[in-house]
Amino acid sequence: MVDLKAWLSLQREKGGLRSLRPVVRRKNGRVTLAVDDTRELLDFSSNDYLALAEHPLLIAAAQQALSRFGTGSGASRLMSGDLSVHHELEEAVARLKGKEGALTFGSGYMANAGIIPALVDRHDFIFSDRLNHASIHDGCRLSGARLLRFRHNDLNHLEDLLKEKRGRGSALIVVESIYSMDGDRCPLRELVEIKERFGCLLMVDEAHATGVFGQNGGGVIEEDGVGEAVDLAMGTFGKALGSYGAYVAGNKEMIDYLVNRARSFIFSTALPPAVAAASLAAVQLVRREPDLRRELHEKTTYFKGLLRTGGYNADLGSSQIIPILIGESAAALNKADLLRQQGIFATAVRPPTVPEGTARLRFSITRHQSKADLAQAARALLEIIDI
Ligand SMILES: *Cc1c(COP(=O)(O)O)cnc(C)c1O
């Protein structure tokens, strides 16, 4: 048992102690952090990229589901919590991702922690990008499979590991299409070639890509035209889709199998109907309105352009997630504080969320931000970072 007091004070010293900071009001991409504080901060910390969490269609869909089904789903899907709205949502997701079927989960964490152990066990191998989200990592460890982590986005390293280490068991390759803390992209086309050559299953987490990329908002797998080759197209409703929960899309056998084997699906209460209905409205909306994406990408390009013009030359990623590398945790926290004083709310991301020595400010661009907001944020940021 750890000494709690000692652990907490050590973390406090290192600038590694996290604490909760409630937002007391949030509207139109502006947040207030204290009840007695009238100042609004521009929110650059939210994953609600398309600003759907406040969209009238999602709110109306949730309200309708509330009056039709009540607040809770009442049971797990395999018991009596299986509602028609869950099926409508799964059909819409399957269409969006170009797959035969889909299955919803309580959250992205639960999806990854349930799907991976259902597919591989201690006789098998997992090849996982080193920067994969903690929920993927935990799913891998829970599975008991032999876990081999390749250097971030380094497919040569992956190929070496496959040649050297892969035994006779089955093998799962798992990646994200857009990395949540770096905003960069997995080279999916090249990865598909490798997956096919080595006969592996491929799982792609599109938490930050669904709704944002692809002609219909189907994610990077749609944009890169690799949907067919991706065996498990996983993603969440809690980010660009403005709701909560997660899904995986795949062929019919895969979905039937997971219904029977994914423990985080089986042993957990079904998504609340209002949440499922809001997710359904979001999936329909992102298909119908490519302008939502276009606007987000324009704003992202504009913001990055301002940073470049201001002399910032480091990597800015290739998505709406923009990492500003700082280094030490304490320095990142300090810079986040300085930004807050300038009316900008961007999160300092620290270990263990990112590797030691790579603490950063994470800016996410959302549709809420106007050009003036983006200019204000770029100015404030350029003032406090070393160029
Ligand atoms: C956010 C995220 C998750 C977890 O999803 P939740 O619904 O928040 O639990 C999983 N994978 C990635 C890549 C994420 O960014």
Confidence bin at 17 (pLDDT 50/70/90): confident
Q: Domain residues for 224?
A: 56-288
Under 8 Å between Cβ of 113 and 203: no
Token readout for 194 is 């490798």
- Pairing mode, if any, of strands 246-250 and 232-236? antiparallel
Say if pTM beats, i.e. exceeds, 0.85. yes
Which of 288, 310, 331 delimits the end of a domain?
288
Rg (CA), the chain: 21
Tell me, what's the pLDDT at 370?
Answer: 98
Tell me, what's the pLDDT at 36?
Answer: 76
20-58 confidence digits (pLDDT tens): 888 999 999 999 988 777 789 999 999 999 999 999 999
Q: What is the CATH number of the domain that holds 180?
A: 3.40.640.10
Q: How many domains in the chain? A: 2
Q: How many CB atoms within 10 Å of residue 146?
A: 18
Which of 288, 309, 338 delimits the end of a domain?
288
pLDDT at 309 over 80: yes
- 142: which strand partners? none
Same domain, 22 and 148: no
Dihedral sign, Cα of residue 111, residue 101, residue 296, residue 32 = negative
Of 47, 180, 236, 362, the one to substitute when testing ligand 1's pocket (max ligand atoms within 8 A of C-beta) is 236
Which of 236, 258, 288 delimits the end of a domain?
288
Which residue type does 182 have?
A: D
Residue 279 bears catalytic tag: no
Atom from ligand 1 closest to the CA of residue 208? 15
Q: What percent of the chain has pLDDT over 90?
A: 90
82-125 confidence digits (pLDDT tens): 999 999 999 999 999 999 999 999 999 999 999 999 999 999 99
Same domain, 160 and 274: yes
The residues, ordered by sequence, that sit 6+ positions from 170 with a Cβ below 8 Å of its Cβ are 120, 124, 125, 200, 201
Catalytic residue chosen out of the listed positions 205, 206, 223, 373: 205
Count helices and strands (H / E) in the chain. 14, 14
Instruction: Evaluate whether residue 9 is within a structural domain.
Output: no
pLDDT at 19 over 90: no
Same domain, 207 and 119: yes
Same domain, 84 and 135: yes
Token readout for 326 is 């700082």
Backbone φ and ψ of 164, nearest 5°: -80, -40
Question: Alpha-carbon distance 229 to 195, whole Å?
Answer: 9
Atom from ligand 1 closest to the CA of residue 180? 15
